[in-house]
Structure 1
């Protein structure tokens, strides 16, 4: 008994074969046309608010790794070598190089964006970018970001690297949180690690320091600080307290800015519940 012929499968296979042949022919045509093209122009796209690397530096990297490209056959230009050379720069996070069918070479670059400048115990300076990588300072540009100093053991070899210590990761998380909120980004100007290993924050407004402790429960700690700013500061003024301690759960412990350093404890739970503030003298 003869089997029924699956004409649908045969037709599908035939169409697939035609499509594949057409694709191969098109790719061959493109390669032939590309081989006859010469580089007419090099267009560099270097967006971003940071200027760690400028167009002159990009042109220098391209020249060192590709020579004078204008008028050169596209097939003689090693695109991958140019890309890798750009990616080797510590200030470049992403680089893509490609040539179009008109003979123009396009160079797309994305610079690293720092969120924190660190001064460690050995007085080594470096940035931490938005991906949590350590990067060196730049001779071309100084980023206006938070500065962290004090008891910071995180080392830096001068090359792009990941964070090795918990303290450095806590500082990075804190800087990201502050940067994400306009209020705190405007209010907090410096981080400091004290001898106890606590993160302290230096505000732009007010003569106090804010003891954060670690980067745990950042949302709760900053929410409590906001309640304190809204409810307590209008009553006592910005310069009443020497320290505002956020380390403890659901409370803020404040130290008055007077000779006897009287301590005040404020119960945050009640503040949040009924929008009132009570102070108890220790």
Structure 2
């Protein structure tokens, strides 16, 4: 019987490749983590620090040398980070050199509620605790309870997306009727907004009024500016 040496050679080469691949993969998995890199994206202000993230991972036994790469559960690491009060989303991946990299999006506050409990409302409309590392410069909410968050959120969200409104509005007060009053930075008059409806129309009317009154130098002559009546702005002079 004629022996096909080429066939045997091919089998040996395939077997050797598989052995080397398995050996390399096992050695790679047996290596310890070299380091952890934390990257914050989107926002400049740090409501949670790199040190706090590293401490959280170490407390959950995800240290730089405490666990082998084979035993590392990336989904578990992401879950640990995403459960942090100041983290909106975390992505975790492992590089070939043994570096655990984390990309973290922090929660962004858009309002601060003052009352028996003090907390933020984040950009998704959820309660957010205060940070020990940074105090956000956002409108203060007075007379607002947790049950009111769904109602006041569209108003806060609109303000947070508008540069002019963000620069000028310092606080929002809720009355018993559910209507809102806004306080403005460096302005003597109160801005009566009414209920959180027709938000875009009301603010567009206010911007038109503000631009005209600023040009005529009469902003400081008003005591109250009322936006609740249709397409008109009703002003009360001092």
Range class of TM-score, shorter chain: 0.7 to 0.9
Q: 1:170 to 1:71 in 2, by over 3 A?
A: closer
Aligned pairs, number = 219
Alpha-carbon distance in structure 2 between the residues aligned to 1:100 and 1:214: 52
Describe the SS at the equivalent of 1:74: coil
Match of 1:93 in 2: 88
Gaps of 5+ in 2: 1-17
Counterpart in the other structure of 1:230: 211
Could you say what secondary structure the match of 1:251 adopts?
Answer: coil
CA displacement 1:29-86 (0-9 Å, x = unmatched):
8854532433222111123312111112111111111254327421133333222211
Alignment of 1:130 with 2:123, yes or no, is yes
Give the structure 1 partner of residue 53 of structure 2.
58
Where does residue 207 of structure 1 map in the other structure?
A: 188
Structure 1 residues 251 and 30, CA gap change in structure 2 (3 angstroms)? farther
Contact 2:213 2:219 in 1 (8 A): no
The residue number in structure 1 matching 2:7 is none
TM-score (ref. length: structure 2): 0.82
3-state SS of paired residue (2:146) = coil
Does residue 104 (structure 1) correspond to residue 99 (structure 2)? The answer is: yes
Give the match for residue 108 of structure 2.
113
State the alpha-carbon separation in 2 of the partners of residues 234 and 195 from structure 1.
Answer: 35
Name the TM-score, length of structure 1 as normaliser: 0.70
Q: Which runs of 4+ in 1 moved over 4 A?
A: 27-31
CA distance in 2, matches of 1:209, 1:82: 49
- The structure 1 residue matched to 2:74, chosen from 75, 79, 83, is 79
Please give the root-mean-square deviation of Cα atoms over the aligned residues, in Å.
Answer: 2.4
Q: CA–CA distance in 2 between the matches of 1:116 and 1:28? A: 54
Structure 1 residue ranges without an equivalent (≥5): 1-23, 156-166, 258-282
